[in-house]
Structures are given as C-alpha cells and as structure tokens.
Amino acid sequence: MESITLGRAETEHGEVVLRQRGEIIELVVNGVFAMDSVDATSEHALADAAGDPPRRVLVGGLGLGFTTARLLDRGATKVRVVELAEPLIAWAQAGLTDQLRRISADPRVELVVGDIADELSTGSPRWDAILLDVDNGPSFLIHDHNQQVYAEPLLARALALLNPGGALVIWCETASPDLEVTLRRLATDVAAIRVPVSREGREFEYALYRVTAPIQRG
C-alpha cells in the first residue's frame, strides 16, 4: 500500500518522519521505526500502570500520543510530555493526526521540547507517575545517548521525583533482565508486566517494568 508523508523534518537528533499507509500512521525517528498505530495495547498498558486514577504524570516520549491520550481518558489531572523531536510537537499543535490534535488542545497537557534525561536530572519532585517510552526498549535504542535513561543514576533520580507510592514505568520491546536487576537494586517493589500483542498474524510479548516509590523514604 502506498504511503503518504504527513511530515518530514531534519533535527540535530536525526530525521523525523510521520506518514500514513491506509488507516495506519507510522513514526520513524533517526532512521529507526519508532512505532505505528496498528496495535496500541502496550502504549495503553503503560498509561494504565500509572495508577488509578493517574493524577499528575510525567511522560518521556510523545510518539503518536497513545499513552498520553489514555492518561487523559482515565482522568489524569496533569500530563507533562517531554519530547526530543521538536517537529513532532509542532505537528501535534498543527493537528496532523486527530489524536495529536486532541492531546495538544487539552489544557491538562504540557508539551515540552527536550530530553527526558535532562528533565529527570533537573526536575523537582512532584509526580504521581513517570512513564518512560523513548526507545523500542533498552536493547533497541532510537538514540545512542538514551542508554543513560536505563542506567542506575537516572533511574534513581526518577524515583526521587515521585510522590510516595508513585510509579515509575518503563516500556520495553522485550523482557530486559539487566534493567530489572538495576531496578531491584533501587527498590523492593518491582513488577515485570508482560503485554501480549498480535501484529500481522505474529505474536509478540512486550514488557513493562513498574517500580513503586516507597511510601516512607528511608
């Protein structure tokens, strides 16, 4: 099926392309297939792991906006989305897809151009959940410098930004034992959540790692 380019732009972090193939929207970042709209089960599961209701949430990676839209549907009071690709935020504001338009118009959403690593390093504590989905997972990075996102110092920093009982949740394209070991060094309450997804007749199992911040800090 022929694809239509909805947006294409060069950035200092590589090219960003938003395209449509029939009903399907695809996002390619820095030459890496980041995602499409075929099955958003895992992006929704990421939002669902933020708590019930989700309340104040920091999201790393706008993508096609499935996680953010789900947070809004589930009653989040505030969603700050940090996205490295500036054109993607501009395209959201221009309404290039219905979902991105809707997110951008919602007063509970703050769309910020930036690196989630910088946000975690410099932000102040105040979140009920932090959701990280900036790659295809720690073993399939969109940008090499995102390695730091899965390393202990930044994960510790993310946990320190959470309110007591808050959740840090990380999307992975497959189980990531190394990441789980790192997280278990930082917290006792770590859950590995498997998300089965079916795509074009093939079965996949994505993984989410959910860490709960201690109610009482030691």
Smaller CB separation from ligand SAM, 121 or 214: 121
Distance from C-alpha of 196 to C-alpha of 1, rounded to nearest angstrom: 26
Number of H-type helices and E-type strands within the chain: 7, 11
63 binds ligand SAM (CB under 6 A): yes
Min dist. Cβ of residue 176 to ligand SAM (A): 15
Residue among 83, 176, 183, 207 that touches ligand SAM (CB under 6 A): 83
72 binds ligand SAM (CB under 6 A): no
Pick from 111, 118, 173: which is nearest to 148 by CA? 118
Residue nearest to ligand SAM (CB): 63
Smaller CB separation from ligand SAM, 63 or 166: 63
CB 173 within 8 A of CB 138: no
Q: Beta strand 56-60 with 202-212: parallel, antiparallel or unpaired?
A: unpaired
Contacts with ligand SAM in 21-50 (CB under 6 A)?
A: 29, 34-35, 43
209 binds ligand SAM (CB under 6 A): no
CB 88 within 8 A of CB 18: yes
* Angle (CA) 198 200 205, round 5°: 30
Contacts with ligand SAM in 140-159 (CB under 6 A)?
A: 142-143, 146
Binding site for ligand SAM (CB under 6 A): 29, 34-35, 43, 60-67, 82-85, 88, 115-117, 133-134, 142-143, 146
